Structure 1
Amino acid sequence: MFAMSSAHPTDATANPAPLGLMGFGMTTMLLNFHNAGFYPMDTMILAMGIFYGGIAQMIAGIMEWKKGNTFAATAFTSYGMFWLALVGLIVLQKTSLGIAGPSPDAAMPAFLGMWGVFTAILFIGTLRLNRALQVVFGSLTVLFALLAIGDATGNEAITRLAGWEGLFCGASAIYAGLAQVLNEVYGRTVWPIGPVSRA
């Protein structure tokens, strides 16, 4: 008979959170430069949405799943799919398939609103994590609300405001991701993320 070993293998895999945060943050900033009125929707934004915002975040989510991190696995995989879905909503209506795009008065606000509700609930989870993530998810909740209202009302000023708020949101995600990289590389807190006591 062979004895069952009680040893647990050590997790030697890298932290995937910076990849997910950077994929989200950089893509969010580029899209919101458009929302703020700096340039039109183009293939640069769509390509970022597919490959970095979409695929890279999904990879990070799968890696977090393997690490047993339910919150990060859910967040990164979901927002990766968000970017792919958003690109699909924009591109499919322009193809020879003749698929109708979301109507500005109902469908797109519903899409953005649903993501806002999801994000607001995840924000509650960040209250047990760290201040950096609280800023990311809090500002993202506001961003979805502004974008949904802007689309529902057709008010360009609200969409422009959402663009500027989205730049802040994206920058906060970039900060949170790069802070984890720098803190790990240097073995000390270079950029603080504000851990929250779980006591």
Structure 2
Amino acid sequence: MIPQQPVAATDGIANPAPLGLCAFGLTTVLLNIHNAGFFEINAMILAMGIFYGGLAQVIAGIIEAKKNNTFGLTAFTSYGFFWLSLVGLLVMPKLGWAAKPSEGAMCCYLGIWGVFTFCLFFGTLRLSRALQFVFASLTVLFALLVWGDATGNASVKQLAGYEGILCGSSAIYTGIAGVLNEVYGKVVLPVGTVVKV
């Protein structure tokens, strides 16, 4: 077994991946606690979607661009704008700016994000096992959300909530691992480094 080495920034720019992963993970967990049926959509989720899941991920993506990381740029910026668009889908109808999306429209919205996530999953095969789990579980989450909206089955939506909590938690773990492994200069939390050939 090859020992895992922590990643250290060598270009004078801090690693933005932990920020992006934590922003995605915390927001995903909170939304999916709602999906699991513990509380209704409220300002806490919307605010997290705008400011942490949304803006913080976009910022992380822009920093990834400065680090010449196309995968990080694409993933963090895209999912940041996913959160902003999701908040827009919830808020715009209440403001009278647009009609509420139908279940079919939401299936298309969530489905295209699932396809996008599945495509990005193949990029993680060259990164780490932890990221592979994040993107695989996110693909499953989108599939469950589409299934739930397509059928109107409350049990499927609740299952998606629990699966989303797992997905978000895995992103938080991966983000915190990036922070702690760098701070301590050794592997504190393993992420399953992939050997590149």
- Compare relative contact order (CA 8 Å, sep 6+) and give the higher one, 1 or 2: 2
Aligned to 1:48: 48
Tell me how far 1:11 sits from its aligned partner.
1.4
Aligned to 1:6: none
Aligned to 2:101: 102
% identity of equivalent residues: 66
Aligned to 2:148: 150
Aligned to 2:129: 131
Aligned mates of 2:107, 2:153 — CA distance in 1: 13
Aligned mates of 1:14, 1:96 — CA distance in 2: 42
Aligned to 1:174: 172
Aligned mates of 2:91, 2:114 — CA distance in 1: 22
Q: How does 1:4-19 map to 2 (within 5 A)?
A: 11-19=11-19
SS at match of 2:15: coil
Residues 118-150 of structure 1, C-alpha deviation per residue, up to 9 Å, x if partnerless?
000100110110000000000000000000110
Could you say which structure has the larger radius of gyration?
1
Q: How does 1:60-139 map to 2 (within 5 A)?
A: 60-97=60-97, 99-104=98-103, 106-139=104-137
Tell me how far 1:109 sits from its aligned partner.
0.5
Gaps of 5+ in 1: 1-9
Aligned mates of 1:85, 1:75 — CA distance in 2: 15
Count of equivalent residues: 188
Tell me how far 1:108 sits from its aligned partner.
0.2
Residues 32-55 of structure 1, C-alpha deviation per residue, up to 9 Å, x if partnerless?
000000000000000000000000
Gaps of 5+ in 2: 1-9
Amino acid at match of 1:19: L
The alignment yields a C-alpha RMSD, in angstroms, of 0.7
Residues 78-111 of structure 1, C-alpha deviation per residue, up to 9 Å, x if partnerless?
00000000000000000143x101101x100000
**TM-score, normalized by length of structure 1?**
0.93
Aligned to 1:5: none
Aligned to 2:191: 193
Aligned mates of 2:173, 2:32 — CA distance in 1: 17
Aligned mates of 2:195, 2:187 — CA distance in 1: 17
Aligned to 2:27: 27
